[in-house]
Amino acid sequence: MSAVHDRASATPARASADDVLSEVLATLRLTGSMLFLVHAARPWHSWAPPAEAFRPLVLPASQHLVSYHIVTCGGCWAGLPGTPPERFDTGDILVVPHGDPYFLADPPDAPRTYDGDEAVRFFRRMAAGTLPTSIEQGDRDSTGERTQFICAFLGCDQRPFNPVLAALPRAMHLRATDAAGDRLRHLVDFAIAELRERSSGGTSVLTRLTELMFIEVVRRHLAALDETSGGWLAGLRDPLVARALSLLHAEPARRWTIEQLAGEAGTSRSVLAERVLAERFTHLVGLPPMHYLTQWRMQRAAQLLAQPGRNKIVAIAQAVGYESEAAFSRAFRKSAGVAPSAWRRQSAA
- Domain containing 206 — which CATH number? 2.60.120.10
Instruction: Specify the 3-state DSSP secondary structure of 19.
Output: helix
Please give the order of strands across the beta sheet that includes 44-48.
44-48, 102-106, 75-79, 86-89
CA 135 to chain centre: 26
- Alpha-carbon distances, residue 267 vs 19, 74, 212, 253, 270 (angstroms): 21, 52, 37, 21, 9
What is the per-residue pLDDT for 348? 76
* Whole-number Cα distances in Å, 59 to 34, 51, 172, 261, 318: 9, 11, 22, 40, 32
- Specify the CATH number for the domain of residue 336: 1.10.10.60
Are residues 219 and 99 located together in one domain of the fold? Answer: yes
Q: Which pLDDT score is estimated for 288? A: 96
Which of 6-15, 64-73, 147-156 is least confident?
6-15
The reply to whether 87 and 8 lie within a common domain is no
Domain count, the chain: 2
Q: List alpha helices for 47-174, DSSP H.
A: 55-58, 116-128, 163-166
CA–CA separation, 167 and 229 (whole Å): 10
Which among 224, 262, 268, 221 is positioned nearest to 241, based on CA atoms? 262
Pair type for strands 31-41 and 134-138: parallel
Task: Please tell me what DSSP assigns to residue 261.
Answer: H
More confident residue, 283 or 141: 283
Higher local confidence (pLDDT), 192 or 230: 192
pLDDT at position 270:
79
What DSSP state is assigned to residue 63?
S
Domain enclosing residue 131, as ranges: 29-156+177-224
210 and 185 fall within a common domain: yes
User: Are residues 216 and 240 both part of a single domain?
Assistant: no
Residue at 240 is within a domain:
yes
Position 198 confidence tier, pLDDT thresholds 50, 70, 90: confident
Confidence category of residue 14, pLDDT binned at 50, 70, 90: very low
pTM of the predicted protein model: 0.84
Q: What is the pLDDT of residues 201-231, one digit of tens each?
A: 888 898 999 999 999 999 999 988 887 788 8
